[in-house]
Chains A and B, each alone.
Chain A
Amino acid sequence: MSEIIFKPCSLKEMWEEMPNLPESRKYMAGGTDVVTVENAGFPSAECWIDISDIPELAIVREEKDHVFIGAGVKLNDLETYPFIKKYCPALLAAVHDFASPSLRNMATLGGNAGNASPCADGVCALVSLEATIVLRKGNSERKMPLRDFFTGPKRTKLEKDELIYGFEIPKKENLLGQYFKLGPRAFFGISKVAVALSAALDGNKVKYASVAIASVAPVPLYAAKTSEYLTGKELTEDTILKAADMARGEVSPITDARSEADYRRDMSGILLERALRSLTD
């Protein structure tokens, strides 16, 4: 197998060149997963398409009803946009807990979603923000809720050559966001469990709530029942405990190298309790 690396400067150039590339090909953004995965013995592709120099993928902009984040934006750059702070607080909270500063200079949200690990911090936060994923292939584009994009661990609905173009996050006023992660250390670890919460309050009443939980299901989990239960409730101790129990019922964790199923289930509820309490702190 003769290996090649193709590094296009624009999407147009990439789609034009695609028919001339070897059939066995895959995208590489930050490169942090590509090598790890291949060195772990997973099959390699003949051609790597290095998309790190495509300016269109590094766009972050505020639209009328949503915020758009390009798939190739480096995580550390997200902090520089005030409208991300306003409309995606859970995402910024997750970015702070995401690996380390040096890794955040390499990693992208597109890569985080494409790698499709159930423990992906960035993806979990985006699911709680009800993000839509935008996919492109040549001139055609399709969108779907990010929570429906994953089909299993490391598996997505991406078709051959389809590229993650970016994410649309609906704008919600007075949105609060939290990301509570439980890892092997306070910083810089892969989560045993993580809870992303996006919510809006009206006094003590929950006007809106959306909960996503990482590392407790085959895919980054949107806790639909818990989110629905919380919306419209007064944020009392009783509500918090009931929501935590509901979250424990929604997860389906397994025991693996990082943690045990029972512990993960229990901590899903406890992290949600902490996240909910922090809303009114």
Chain B
Amino acid sequence: MNKEEILQADEDGMFTITLSVNGELGQMIVSRNESLVEALRHYGWKGTKKGCDTGDCGSCTVLLNDKPVLGCMMPAVAANGGNITTIEGLGTVRNPHPIQEAFVEAGAVQCGYCIPGMILSTKALLDRNPEPTEAEIRKALDGNLCRCTGYVTQVQAVNIAARKMKALKKKQEKTAAKEAEKAARRVSRKAAKKNK
């Protein structure tokens, strides 16, 4: 029996878990009943918002292994060994992610409390479905409640984000193709030199 499969509380009743948050691998010391959102915020990832704490509002949405989950409904210990993405992992104020830019452009942010969750739900949607219909957008965001707006600008934001991400992907593909071409040319030049 592999002892690593048993997590034992220390004398203070705390558990040590290892997980990656936004690409940073680290350890967290948590109690067994501590939710993932509590633990993340305790360790400084305060972009994740705690709303209802009962699984009703979706503001604590984070990505666990690229899938959206509710931080308040998941014990932190259940995320042991996982890869978490919070809003901080997407972009910064100086260098925002296209989805963040789109939410700003569409004016989809009022008080902003629900937005980190909405943006992460959007990220998960666009990763698996780059061109969603309005119905698909509404379905993907139906677990993120917003009490300021009327869910109109957010749908527009997702559409803008989809276009931005598509354009970005095209640009990246073009750059990659150019790089590959360059590399191929270098190889053939080297081969030509050798043959000489």
Contacts and interface: CB of A to CB of B under 8 A. Distances in A.
Interface of A: 2-9, 13, 16-17, 28, 30-32, 34-36, 38-39, 44, 48, 50, 52, 76, 96, 99-103, 105-106, 187-189
B67 A105 contact: yes
Contact of A188 (B6, B56, B67, B124): B56
Contacts of B1: 13, 16-17
Contacts of B8: 2, 4
B54 interface: yes
Contact of A103 (B32, B55, B140): B55
Interface string B1-27: 110011111000101000000000000
A39 B74 CA distance: 12
Nearest to A13: B1
B116 interface: no
Given A100-B58, A106-B69, A187-B142, 19 more contacts: A3-B15, A4-B7, A5-B77, A31-B73, A31-B75, A34-B75, A36-B73, A44-B33, A50-B77, A99-B55, A99-B143, A101-B121, A101-B140, A101-B143, A102-B58, A102-B143, A103-B73, A188-B142, A188-B145
Contacts of B7: 4-7
Contact of A102 (B54, B61, B78): B61
Contact of A101 (B33, B35, B75, B142): B142
B121 A39 contact: no
Contacts of A39: 33
Interface of B: 1-2, 5-9, 13, 15, 32-33, 35, 54-56, 58, 61, 64, 67-70, 73-75, 77-78, 80, 121, 124, 139-140, 142-145
A13 B3 CA distance: 12
B72 to A, nearest CB: 9
Contacts of B70: 32, 100, 102-103, 106
Given A3-B13, A28-B78, A9 B5 contact: yes
Contacts of A13: 1, 5
Given A99-B143, A101-B121, A5 B6 contact: yes
B5 A106 contact: no
A199 B100 CA distance: 46
Contact of A31 (B13, B54, B56, B78): B78
A72 B32 CA distance: 21
Nearest to B140: A101
A39 B54 CA distance: 11
B68 A105 contact: yes
B68 A102 contact: yes
Contacts of A101: 68, 121, 124, 139-140, 142-143
B42 to A, nearest CB: 16
Given A16-B1, A102-B61, A35 B35 contact: yes
Contact of B69 (A8, A9, A102): A102
B143 A187 contact: yes
Given A8-B5, A103-B70, A106-B69, A3 B32 contact: yes
A55 to B, nearest CB: 14
Closest 9 A/B residue pairs (Cβ):
A100-B143, A187-B142, A102-B68, A5-B7, A31-B78, A3-B9, A32-B73, A105-B67, A31-B75
Given A35-B35, A36-B54, A38-B33, A6 B13 contact: no
A3 B35 CA distance: 16
Contacts of A99: 55, 143
Contacts of A36: 54-55, 73
A4 B68 contact: no
B78 to A, nearest CB: 4
B58 A4 contact: no
Contacts of A96: 139
A13 B140 CA distance: 37
A117 B61 CA distance: 24
A7 B78 CA distance: 10
Contacts of B139: 96, 101
A144 to B, nearest CB: 29
Given A2-B8, A101-B143, A32 B32 contact: no
B143 A103 contact: yes
Contacts of B144: 100
A39 B13 CA distance: 16
B53 to A, nearest CB: 9
